[in-house]
Structure 1
Amino acid sequence: MNQTAFNLVAISVFLMTLSALLGPLINLSPTIPALATFTILGIATFDSFSLQGKGGTIFIDWVAGFSPQYRDRIIHHEAGHFLVANLLGIPVTGYTLSAWEAWRQGQSGQGSISLNDTELGSQLEQGKISHQTLERYCTILMAGIAAETLVFERVEGGNDDRRKLANVFRLLGFSESVCQQKQRFHILQAKTLIQDNWLSYQALAEAIRQRATIADCQKAIADAQMETESKVA
């Protein structure tokens, strides 16, 4: 059972327990919490086996989306991915800020960015990925976690990113300990890139908050870079 389905089951158990304690005090019919619990368990089962947990993720993300702090974390997380991809020369073609938007575009997680990965696709067709390409994509993958660390000092998202990175290195034959080392290395790489381009990162995060187009996001990065260079000069 995935984590989202497990959370839904935990909610149903909580509802049953709460109804057993408070039901007699407020004259609540036991049928109501029983139906609610049955419905939640049914959703969890269907989601786990038919939707691979995506339905529950979308629901939980929708509920959490009412929190400004949650939305702000998503914005800064995706801005990290976007900026690092831009700095490493991988064009960004789109971004999403909710699990629903990500699901509609065939992505996973609470948000996502889409990349023009023709170079990667070409190398995969040839059955060989260059070290440089692998390093760039792995750093982009860890950039959301790096951004959360810098802005919020702790990470709440990025589990999907970690899982993808681990899968990549397992397929390449690396041990679990090496996978952990690689993960820390690429988080550090992404963190350094964001810190070195901090004004661009802040400008990009604000542009994403305003739902700016990709072109306007890129302009925000370029304008901030020019501002940084003028200050240094």
Structure 2
Amino acid sequence: MGPMLGSSPLLPAGLGFSLLVLFSLDAVTWQGRGATLLLDGIQQRSPEYRQRILHHEAGHYLVATALGLPVTGYTLSAWEALRQGQPGRGGVQFQAAALEAEAAQGQLSQRSLEQWCQVLMAGAAAEQLVYGNVEGGADDRAQWKQLWRQLDRNPAEADLRSRWGLLRAKTLLEQQRPAYDALVAAMAAEASIEDCNQAIATAWVEEPAIAA
């Protein structure tokens, strides 16, 4: 669920060829893991990149928690994801057995569909709230479109629904900005899930939550 920021295309010719060979081998052996680790490792050198990923993932975390989907883990880099057995650059993992069971049957309830949409769009919503623009979330949008197709819904409505989900998620983050900021600080310190949840609970603003 993490954002992927563009790297510079200005690579020396030799390095570009070497990377191409590496990526080709990686696609066969590690299913792209080596390339992901390399690119993320380079980008992790940028404090701005690390901060944007942190804020993006904290958005997913807080909205999932607010909508009753307990978070079970989070990662902020591809290396952390590999160590935890997670694909890609990692992200936020949450309990969604009921949602996944419904989706597998192609019979997702309206409530569950709205929950999925808000949680998936929450990373982009957090970026928009903090930075005023969105650079990540391509994987999140792809997951949403895949789910929409799986449910055999009208393709023309997918983008409209995702914009709705982003707006709802952003509104929730705005309402709970103190809790969100506390969560960002906790995740930056690599706090445990228990400590992250406590940070949210301590700073939570008691006001009507957005209906799922």
Give the TM bin, normalised by the shorter chain: 0.7 to 0.9
Residue of structure 2 equivalent to 1:202? 181
Select the residue among 181, 189, 194 that pairs with 1:215: 194
- What is the CA-CA distance between 1:77 and the residue it aligns to? 0.6
Residue of structure 1 equivalent to 2:98? 119
Select the residue among 62, 65, 71 that pairs with 2:44: 65
2:55–2:123 Cα contact (<8 Å) kept: yes
How big is each residue's C-alpha offset from its partner over 1:3-27, in whole Å with a ceiling of 9 and x where there is no partner?
Answer: x9xx89x66xx423xxxxxxxxxxx
Over 6 Å off, 4+ runs? none
> Residue 15 in 1 paired to residue 16 in 2?
no
Check 1:122–1:159 CA distance in 2 against 1; reply closer, same or farther (3 A cut). closer
- Higher mean displacement: 105-114 or 140-149: 105-114
Select the residue among 145, 159, 165 that pairs with 2:144: 165
SS at match of 2:45: coil
Question: Under a length normalisation based on structure 1, what TM-score does the superposition of the two structures give?
Answer: 0.78
Percent identical residues = 43
How far apart, CA to CA, are the structure 2 residues paired with 1:160 and 1:135? 18
SS at match of 1:93: strand
Select the residue among 65, 68, 76 that pairs with 1:89: 68
Say which one has the larger Rg.
1
1:78–1:111 Cα contact (<8 Å) kept: no
1:203–1:220 Cα contact (<8 Å) kept: yes
How big is each residue's C-alpha offset from its partner over 1:96-144, in whole Å with a ceiling of 9 and x where there is no partner?
Answer: 0002222444544433111112322443576632221121122101100
1:199–1:224 Cα contact (<8 Å) kept: yes
How far apart, CA to CA, are the structure 1 residues paired with 2:156 and 2:29? 33
Check 1:37–1:71 CA distance in 2 against 1; reply closer, same or farther (3 A cut). closer
Q: Runs of 5+ in structure 2 lacking a partner?
A: 208-212
Check 1:67–1:182 CA distance in 2 against 1; reply closer, same or farther (3 A cut). same
- Higher mean displacement: 205-214 or 55-64: 55-64
1:74–1:111 Cα contact (<8 Å) kept: no
- Higher mean displacement: 215-224 or 51-60: 51-60
Question: Under a length normalisation based on structure 2, what TM-score does the superposition of the two structures give?
Answer: 0.85
Q: Which has the higher contact order (CA 8 A, sep 6+)?
A: 2
- What is the CA-CA distance between 1:183 and the residue it aligns to? 1.2
Q: Runs of 5+ in structure 1 lacking a partner?
A: 17-32
Structure with the bigger percentage of helix: 1
- What is the CA-CA distance between 1:73 and the residue it aligns to? 0.6
